Amino acid sequence: MKVYEVLTDTKKALAMLESDLCDDMDNFRIIYIAALSLLRAAGHVLHKVDCDGNPILKKAVADHWNRLKAHSESNQIFFEFIEKERNHVLKEYEIGFDDTDWEVVYPDGDDYSTYNLGELYRPLKDGAFDGADCRNLINEGIAWWEEQLAEIVSLISQVPQ
């Protein structure tokens, strides 16, 4: 299914967010937006591309989606992060993570060492995941999609052919 390509690209974007490439805030912001957009695109690709011409998959996805909506509280990573944050970014260009370059100073003998905490920690500023590092949430979003796809594939395999 094409949705797996989207998740592979999302994993690559997450790896970039965790690399030296994103020491620069502009790079971090742009790749964060890409990763977030890919997380949301997974559902659209599953629905619009993978289900096209496949009535069994289409029904399984529709049934699964209805269950997800009925239990939104247990699927917060989708409804409160993937969907909500993506809407803020793409519809209002409001980036939800804190881009402050917090510096931590530690005594190092007679001198002090300064560390840029922003390279290690980019928390969301509000909402259900206030204070959670956005990279951890992207990772959780990938894991959530993998779980959903496994459930859908399981449903399909139970349908008599």
pLDDT tens for each residue of the chain, 161 residues long:
999 999 999 999 999 999 888 888 899 999 999 999 999 999 999 999 999 999 999 999 999 999 999 999 999 999 999 999 999 999 999 999 888 765 566 666 666 665 555 566 888 999 999 989 999 999 999 999 999 999 999 988 876 66
- Dist. CA 137–CA 14, nearest whole Å: 10
What are the structural domain ranges in the chain?
Answer: 3-95+130-157
For residue 76, give the nearest of 31, 111, 124, 35 by alpha carbon.
Answer: 124
- Dist. CA 52–CA 46, nearest whole Å: 9
By the 8 A CB rule, do 101 and 116 touch? yes
Query: Nearest 5°: CA angle at 23, between 100 and 20?
Result: 150
